[in-house]
């Protein structure tokens, strides 16, 4: 009986300009359809561990979109390069305010049915003047904004309020 030491691969996730992407989510997908997690090492670096000698796929999720690349675990390092994303900044003419204790829900949804991208940001009603989606894959989106009452406010009859729906947003790579 001979035991093989487990293989480990350090995975670095960057955009096309070389900027580390710390908010990426990374996991390993194996030929048999199973998957394994990774441990974050900080600043866009992750470690896949418990690997065999068999090649596997590195699956990386950034801002609602998945990227996959094959990797041979004989190489202890991998670099995943994600296309440059854009940023969506929603500015308000006046601070957000509501008499309730709920929150403002901002949804950004890809209009292309083949893209399953749905991003969400929640802001509390404390006078904020902007909402930022920091990394958004380039393409066409619709932005909606609703006020969602707290559980207590719902018990008192307050309902979800649609404040803006289906506003078109076009995202360009590297643009705001």
Q: For residues 142 and 91, give the distance between their C-alpha atoms in angstroms, rounded to a whole number.
A: 16
What three-state secondary structure class fits 77? Answer: strand
Residues 6+ apart with CB under 8 A from 115: 65, 137, 139
Q: What percent of the chain has pLDDT over 90?
A: 23
Beta bridge mates, 165: none
Q: What's the pLDDT score for residue 93? A: 75
pLDDT in tens, 102-132: 788 888 988 888 777 888 888 776 777 788 8
Positive or negative: CA dihedral 134, 137, 143, 148: negative
Q: What's the pLDDT score for residue 21? A: 92
Paired sense of beta strands 65-71 and 118-123, if any: unpaired
Mean pLDDT for 16-31 is 90
pLDDT at 100 over 80: no
The first and second tokens of residue 121, run together, are 């940001």
pLDDT in tens, 131-149: 888 888 888 899 988 888 8
The first and second tokens of residue 74, run together, are 């004989």
Angle 14-24-119 from CA coordinates, rounded to 5°:
120
Q: For residues 119 and 157, give the distance between their C-alpha atoms in angstroms, rounded to a whole number.
A: 28
pLDDT at 5 over 70: no
Mean pLDDT for 57-83 is 92
Q: What's the pLDDT score for residue 176? A: 60
The first and second tokens of residue 120, run together, are 């969400």
Q: For residues 27 and 80, give the distance between their C-alpha atoms in angstroms, rounded to a whole number.
A: 12
Residues 6+ apart with CB under 8 A from 79: 11, 12, 14
Q: For residues 104 and 164, give the distance between their C-alpha atoms in angstroms, rounded to a whole number.
A: 11
Beta bridge mates, 86: 136
């Amino acid at each position: 009986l001979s035991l093989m030491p487990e293989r480990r691969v350090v995975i670095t996730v960057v955009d096309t300009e070389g900027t580390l992407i710390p908010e990426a989510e990374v996991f390993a997908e194996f030929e048999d359809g199973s998957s394994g997690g990774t441990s974050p090492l900080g600043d866009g670096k992750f470690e896949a561990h418990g690997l065999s000698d068999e090649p596997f796929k590195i699956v990386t999720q950034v801002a609602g979109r998945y990227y996959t690349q094959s990797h041979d675990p004989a190489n202890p390092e991998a670099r995943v390069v994600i296309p440059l994303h854009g940023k969506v900044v929603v500015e308000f003419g006046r601070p957000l305010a509501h008499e309730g204790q709920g929150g403002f829900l901002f949804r950004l949804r890809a209009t292309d049915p083949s893209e399953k991208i749905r991003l969400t940001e929640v802001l509390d009603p404390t006078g904020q003047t902007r909402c930022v989606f920091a990394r958004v894959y380039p393409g066409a989106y619709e932005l909606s904004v609703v006020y969602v009452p707290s559980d207590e406010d719902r018990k008192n009859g307050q309902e979800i309020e649609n404040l803006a729906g289906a506003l078109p947003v076009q995202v360009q790579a590297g643009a705001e």
